[in-house]
Structure 1
Amino acid sequence: MIRLELQVVYTDTPELDLHLSEETLRQLPVPEQSFIEHYGFFDTVKNHWHLSHDHIRFCNHAKEKANISLVDREYLVALRDIDAGEELLQDYREIQAFEGRNLKD
C-alpha cells in the first residue's frame, strides 16, 4: 500500500525511460510507433516522445476519481492512500500532450 499522501509514485528515469524525437519515432516500424503512441506521450515542453520503463505506462485516465497527480511536470504523486493492486488513475488533462483530446471520464 502507498500510505503517504503526496508520496512520489513515479519520476522520469533518463537512464531507463525511452525518449525519442518525432523524426526518430517515424523511422521505427509502424507497430513500434503505435506502441509508443499508445503507452507513451509527446512531451511538448521537452519536444520528444516519452515511454516509461516501468508499469506506470499502464496507468489509466479518470477525470473525477484520480488517485495520482502530476506535480511540477516531473513527478506523479499519490493523492491518497492506494491499496496494493489498486488501479492507478490520473487525469490525463494534466499532461499537455492530452490537451484538446476527447477523453472519456
Structure 2
Amino acid sequence: MACAVQYNLIASKEITLKQTETTLSDITAEIADKRAFLTVKQEDLVELDNEVDALGAQLGKTRDELKKTRKSLGGVIGGFSAFAGIPLVIIAAILIVRKRRDMKERAANQPVVDF
C-alpha cells in the first residue's frame, strides 16, 4: 500500500512537472517574442531619432532664413520709406509755399475797407 501511495504521489508530481515545463516553455516563447518586439521598437526609435535630428536641423536653417529675410525686408521697407518719403516732403513743401504765396496775393488784391 505504501508503494501505491508513493506511485500516485510520483504520478501527480510528474503531471505537475509536465504542466510546469509547458508553462516554462510558453513563458520562454513569450520572452523571445517580447525581445524581438523590443528590438524592432528600438530600431524604430533610432530611425525616429535620426528623423527628428534631420528635421531639427532643417528647422534651424529655416529659422535662420526667416531672420535673414526679415532683416532684408526691413531694409527694403526702410529704403522704400526714405525714397517715397523724400518726394512727399518736397511736394508738401512746394504746396505750402504756393498756398502762402496765393494767400499773400489775395490779401494784396483785396481792397482795404475802412469803417
TM-score range for the pair, normalised by the shorter chain length = under 0.3
Q: Which has the higher helix share?
A: 2
Larger radius of gyration: 2
Q: Which has the higher strand share?
A: 1
TM-score by length of structure 2 reads 0.16
Higher relative contact order (CA 8 A, sep 6+): 1
